[in-house]
Amino acid sequence: MLRPGLFRRREFALAVLRDYDKPRVLDVGCGSGRHGELALEQGASEWVGIDFSEPMLGLARERVGRFGERAQLVQGDFLEAELDGPFDVVFALGLFDYQGEPERFVRRMGEVTAPGGSVVASFPRWNWVKGPVRKLRYEVINNCPIFDYTRPQLEALFNEAGYPDVRIHQPGRGGYLVRAVRASAPA
């Protein structure tokens, strides 16, 4: 209730997940595994979470441990880690706020997404209500660069990585929710 954007993001991801029958899910920057738990509860056949942070992966282990071998965790760099793909759905929720080179991440997602599979991602956008506070909080006080996106940027970003179908939703003031569907394999 206090963070409606997080709720909308979660519901959007789960709606995409339900379009697939027992999908394999990759969660890039999985953090504490909250999206993985929900994906597995919703019928994902497998969920793989990857993150740099061992403390966050520890929280994820506690959260998804009850799913046994259906839940796997990888500590490392998504751009370099060996992942047993392809995946039907790739979550990138809260990831792109801090990525100075989003092209590299989206290209890598294209390598691990199955033909006809989807990336579900959230992207911040500039607005005059939250933007200045966000810049002050992250960049000035915490020395953490943050990035904002536009619709044309998002379309180009995914189109260039092999996702011809890019659906951009703007459910609130703070950002975009994107579903990008990878091109199907040629017949």
Query: Can you count the helices (H) and strands (E) in the chain?
Result: 6, 7
Half-sphere exposure (CA, 13 Å, Cβ side) for 112?
25
Give the pLDDT score at 98: 78
The reported pLDDT for the residue numbered 2 is 45
CA distances, 19 to each of 14, 27, 66 (Å): 9, 17, 24
Q: What CATH number does the domain located at 4-181 have? A: 3.40.50.150
Calpha distance 73→58 (Å, rounded):
9
CA–CA distance, 21 with 45 (Å, rounded to integer): 9
The model's pTM is 0.89
In 3D space, the residue among 90, 151, 144, 142 whose CA is nearest the CA of residue 121 turns out to be 90
- Domain extent listing, the chain: 4-181
Q: pLDDT tens across 137-157, in order?
A: 666 677 766 778 889 999 999
Residues in the chain, pLDDT under 70: 1-5, 126-140, 144-145, 172-174, 185-187
Over residues 157-172, the pLDDT tens digits come to 999 999 999 999 987 6
